[in-house]
């Protein structure tokens, strides 16, 4: 069951305009940067990128390109804006959000994590205490402040919000090690959203820093079993600055 | 009209004061800003820092050759491991947060009121309906205790401790202690109780930069730093 492809271009060849793609990463840590660059080169349009904690701020050059190329329809994230308001005003992505050219929707980070976990585990929706008493009891986006309420329920005297699972069309995943059949290991905190997104997506595409033969990874120490992985491409270890501002 | 601003303690001293509440055996999550500085003051304590990115036993900030782009804390700073560090994925991380396994979370805030409601995730002056919520609401929902560490007033001297929040709330009624550059305040069902003041200040001076009426604890004292 060899899932290794020779190029990123081939790995993303079937992605069509309008696709929904999960992008892992906690700021720059664990972002599938090579796959994002391939997506820019391919020029796919009308994309929805579902994130978790600011991977597009970490991949700021790629975000700028995707925005300027007009490839983005919508972004979902818990932390998607530059921290500095003045930097944000200069940023093409934030300008596009303000102009209503890109939709931007916000959920708490743990809710994003659970949306993917549920999506990969056959759970259509879940009740969470997170966000009760805040505007997160509504759908929060930049289109309007007239917000649509989410369903809530009182369970054992405590209020909870109903949140729905996410099953993106694709997940782009960055792994430290893969075997050719798709078993994956991540490095340290670069794991973050990579595993849950791999489980949630219909098609998971992995960029791996190292690819080994089956049997070369310790079966007791696999983070993502190969069943969740469709395609693997070898990439160089990316270089990036550790910063948010 | 704004009250007259009082120059308070530096941010590191706010962090030092909060660190006194962090005791052996605790699992603690520190938010971005002043709370992150608390990690500088807990050396030698048997305390485990959780980073919501997916790490327990987060070590000191990394320097020079120690910097590894695959090892950052939730404030996006390069950090180091400690003996016993554990890594895990994000659903697990927020499961332990919502599931009530974190003893104390310390967060920054833009505004707080006497009921323990606070606002920190979105500043309307930016002119957007959205903001960066990150993991703050999950920590509010799940941490056993929630502390706020912040400057007492804005840079321009406006109230941050207010009667009613004018910024979007992060959580309602969850904050139990407030640490500022001027004071330590308990948040109780009766209201805000002033427990400690910066050396050299009187309770009246703290009240002058605090919108809600403070209850002065009979044992109110100067902060020991």
Residue B186 maps to which CATH number?
A: 3.40.1080.10
User: What residues pair up with A3 in beta bridges, in sequence order?
Assistant: none
What is the CATH classification number for the domain harbouring A103? 3.40.1080.10
Q: Are residues A74 and A27 in the same domain?
A: yes
What does the pLDDT read at residue A144?
Answer: 73
- The number of angstroms, rounded, from the C-alpha of B12 to the middle of its chain's C-alpha atoms is 13
DSSP B212: S
Condensed to tens digits (0 to 9), the pLDDT of residues B15-24 reads: 999 999 999 9
ipTM at complex level: 0.96
Nearest chain A CA: its distance from B198 CA (Å): 30
Q: Are residues A184 and A100 in the same domain?
A: yes
Q: What is the domain range of residue A154?
A: 125-164
Tell me the two tokens of residue B3. 């009250």
How many helices and strands in chain A, by DSSP H and E? Answer: 8, 12
Query: Rounded CA gap, A53 and A112, in Å?
Result: 9
In the predicted model, is pLDDT for residue A244 greater than 90?
no
Q: Are residues A170 and A97 in the same domain?
A: yes
A2 domain-assigned: no
In the predicted model, is pLDDT for residue A38 greater than 80?
yes
Nearest chain A CA: its distance from B172 CA (Å): 6
Nearest chain A CA: its distance from B35 CA (Å): 17
A214 domain-assigned: yes
* Most A-contacting residue of B32, B127, B129 (CB-CB within 10 A), to test interface: B129
Condensed to tens digits (0 to 9), the pLDDT of residues A158-183 reads: 999 999 999 999 999 999 999 999 99
Query: Rounded CA gap, A169 and A203, in Å?
Result: 6
CA atoms within 13 A on the CB side of B207: 10
Total Cβ atoms within 10 A of residue B79? 27
Q: Are residues A112 and A17 in the same domain?
A: yes
Is the CB of residue A163 less than 8 Å away from at least one CB of chain B?
no
B67 contacts in A (CB within 8 Å)? Answer: 242
B178 domain-assigned: yes
Of A132, A142, A189, the CB nearest to B70: A189
What does the pLDDT read at residue B129?
Answer: 86
Of A83, A129, A196, the CB nearest to B98: A129
In the predicted model, is pLDDT for residue A140 greater than 70?
yes
CA atoms within 13 A on the CB side of B90: 38
A75 contacts in B (CB within 8 Å)? Answer: none
A242 domain-assigned: no
B190 domain-assigned: yes
B123 domain-assigned: yes
Do residues A189 and B53 make contact, with C-beta atoms less than 8 angstroms apart?
yes
B53 with A192: Cβ contact below 8 A: yes
Q: Are residues A145 and A41 in the same domain?
A: no
Give how many domains chain A has, as a whole number: 2
Q: For chain A, how big is the Rg over CA atoms in Å?
A: 18
Is the CB of residue A134 less than 8 Å away from at least one CB of chain B?
yes
Give how many domains chain B has, as a whole number: 1
A92 domain-assigned: yes
B18 domain-assigned: yes
Q: Are residues A62 and A147 in the same domain?
A: no
Q: Are residues A159 and A77 in the same domain?
A: no
Band the pLDDT of A13: cuts 50, 70, 90: very high
B4 domain-assigned: no
Burial class for B11, CB neighbours closer than 10 Å (0-12, 13-18, 19+): middle
A200 domain-assigned: yes
Q: Are residues A49 and A99 in the same domain?
A: yes
Q: Are residues A20 and A138 in the same domain?
A: no
Measured in residues, chain B has a length of 225
Reduce the DSSP state of residue A209 to 3 states and report it. strand
What does the pLDDT read at residue A185?
Answer: 98
DSSP A4: B
Q: Are residues A57 and A92 in the same domain?
A: yes
Query: Rounded CA gap, B114 and B212, in Å?
Result: 7
Q: What is the domain range of residue B92?
A: 11-222
């Amino acid at each position: 069951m060899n899932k290794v492809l020779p190029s990123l271009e081939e790995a993303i060849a079937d992605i069509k305009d309008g696709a929904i793609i999960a992008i892992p990463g906690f700021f720059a840590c664990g972002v599938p940067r090579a796959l994002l660059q391939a997506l820019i080169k391919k020029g796919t349009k009308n994309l929805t990128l579902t994130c978790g904690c600011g991977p597009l701020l970490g991949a700021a050059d790629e975000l700028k390109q995707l925005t300027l190329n007009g490839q983005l329809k919508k972004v979902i994230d818990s932390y998607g804006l530059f921290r500095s308001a003045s930097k944000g005003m200069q940023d093409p992505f934030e300008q596009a959000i303000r102009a209503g050219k890109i939709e931007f929707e916000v959920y708490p980070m743990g809710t994003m994590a659970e949306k993917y976990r549920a999506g990969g585990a056959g759970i259509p929706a879940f009740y969470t205490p997170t966000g009760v008493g805040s505007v997160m009891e509504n759908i929060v986006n930049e289109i309007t402040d007239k917000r649509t309420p989410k369903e809530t329920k009182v369970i054992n005297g405590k209020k909870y919000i109903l949140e729905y699972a996410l099953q993106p069309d694709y997940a782009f995943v960055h792994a430290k090690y893969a075997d050719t059949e798709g078993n994956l290991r991540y490095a340290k905190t670069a794991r973050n959203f990579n595993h849950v997104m791999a489980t949630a997506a219909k098609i998971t595409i992995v960029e791996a820093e190292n690819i080994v033969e089956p049997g070369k990874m310790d079966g007791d120490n696999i983070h993502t079993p190969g069943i969740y992985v469709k395609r693997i491409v070898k990439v160089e270890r990316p270089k990036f600055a550790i910063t948010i501002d | 009209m704004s009250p007259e601003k009082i120059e308070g303690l530096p941010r590191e001293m706010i962090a030092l004061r909060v660190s006194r509440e962090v005791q052996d055996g605790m699992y603690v999550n520190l938010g971005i800003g002043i709370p992150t500085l608390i990690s500088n003051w807990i050396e030698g304590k048997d305390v485990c820092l959780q980073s919501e990115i997916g790490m327990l036993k987060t070590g000191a900030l990394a320097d020079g050759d120690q910097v590894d782009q695959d090892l950052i804390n939730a404030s996006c700073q390069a950090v180091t491991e400690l003996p016993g560090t554990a890594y895990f994925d994000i659903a697990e991380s927020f499961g332990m947060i919502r599931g009530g396994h974190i003893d104390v979370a310390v967060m920054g805030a833009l505004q707080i009121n006497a009921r323990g409601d606070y606002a920190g995730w979105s500043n309307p002056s930016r002119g957007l309906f959205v903001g960066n919520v990150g993991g703050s609401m999950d920590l509010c929902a799940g941490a056993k205790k929630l502390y706020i560490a912040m400057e007492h007033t804005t840079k321009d001297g406006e109230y941050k401790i207010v009667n009613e929040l004018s910024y979007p709330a992060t959580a309602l009624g969850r904050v139990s202690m407030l640490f500022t550059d001027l004071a330590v305040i308990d948040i109780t069902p009766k209201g805000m109780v002033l427990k400690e003041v910066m050396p050299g200040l009187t309770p009246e001076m703290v009240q002058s930069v605090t919108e809600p009426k403070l209850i002065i604890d009979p044992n109110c004292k100067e902060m020991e730093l």
